[in-house]
């Protein structure tokens, strides 16, 4: 599932395109873009590849631990898994919040991978729209294009992983 935002957010699932023979064939995220004139853009291939590696690491953690622990347990386990995979990351990264150019506060992103990808972790029965908004806010404040919202509380992690794309960054 792909979430795109430019001001507001819009849900855009990955689609299937008809093959020349009439059967459907899988479409990559880069091919499944919305039309160029819509103003939406996909993250770079490098950031997308990084996100795939982080999702794979999260799947391994969830497969091992299941959905029953608190967020800090998954934070520790995911960061250990990222270290084992030699993926540079920082935990509890301070996100400065500015209003009209003035620093008015700060947030904390759970994990920042390679300085390019925000990963926000949850361990809830379900995520709410406010959690997606939280990731979007971090992306805007940090000037990044892609974040992951990973909810380890879901029975199947595939249902708890969301790719959050900031399509039209707001100038800082």
Q: Is the pLDDT reported for residue 103 higher than 90?
A: yes
| Minimum mean pLDDT range among 6-20, 110-124, 145-159 | 6-20
Q: Confidence class of residue 71 from pLDDT cuts 50, 70 and 90?
A: very high
Q: Which residues form the domain of 93?
A: 41-166
Does residue 8 fall inside a structural domain?
A: no
Phi-psi region of 101 (alpha: psi -120 to 50; beta: other; left: phi over 0): left
Query: Residue 172: its pLDDT value, please?
Result: 55
Q: Is the pLDDT reported for residue 52 higher than 60?
A: yes
Does residue 12 fall inside a structural domain?
A: no
Mean pLDDT of 50-61: 97
Q: Is the pLDDT reported for residue 18 higher than 50?
A: no
Residue 78 corresponds to which tokens in the numbers above? 């995911």
Does residue 78 fall inside a structural domain?
A: yes
Contact 54, 82 (CB under 8 A): yes
Query: Residue 171: its pLDDT value, please?
Result: 56
Q: The CATH number of the domain where 78 resides is what?
A: 3.40.1350
Q: Confidence class of residue 145 from pLDDT cuts 50, 70 and 90?
A: very high
Mean pLDDT of 128-138: 96
Does residue 171 fall inside a structural domain?
A: no
Query: Residue 146: its pLDDT value, please?
Result: 96
Does residue 34 fall inside a structural domain?
A: no
pTM for the complete prediction?
0.75
Does residue 3 fall inside a structural domain?
A: no
Mean pLDDT, the chain, whole residue set: 82
Question: How many domains are contained in the chain?
Answer: 1
CA 36 – CA 26 distance, rounded (Å): 21
Does residue 113 fall inside a structural domain?
A: yes
Query: Residue 168: its pLDDT value, please?
Result: 67
If one counts every other C-beta atom within 10 angstroms of the C-beta of residue 169, the result is 14
Q: Is the pLDDT reported for residue 55 higher than 90?
A: yes
CA 145 – CA 122 distance, rounded (Å): 20
Q: What is the pLDDT of residues 72-98, one digit of tens each?
A: 999 999 999 999 999 999 999 999 999
Does residue 7 fall inside a structural domain?
A: no
């Amino acid at each position: 599932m792909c979430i795109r935002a430019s001001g507001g957010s819009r849900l855009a699932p990955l689609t299937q395109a008809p093959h020349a023979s009439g059967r459907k064939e899988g479409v990559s995220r880069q091919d499944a873009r919305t039309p160029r004139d819509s103003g939406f853009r996909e993250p770079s291939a490098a950031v997308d590849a990084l996100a795939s590696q982080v999702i794979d690491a999260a799947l391994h953690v969830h497969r091992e631990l299941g959905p029953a622990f608190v967020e800090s347990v998954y934070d520790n386990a995911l960061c250990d898994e990222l270290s084992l995979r030699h993926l540079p990351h920082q935990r509890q990264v301070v996100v400065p919040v500015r209003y009209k150019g003035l620093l008015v506060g700060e947030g904390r992103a759970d994990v920042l991978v390679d300085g390019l990808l925000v990963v926000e972790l949850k361990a809830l029965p379900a995520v709410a729209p406010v959690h997606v908004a939280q990731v979007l806010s971090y992306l805007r404040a940090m000037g990044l294009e892609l974040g992951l919202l990973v909810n380890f509380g879901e029975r199947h992690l595939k249902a708890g992983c969301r790719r959050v794309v900031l399509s039209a960054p707001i100038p800082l």
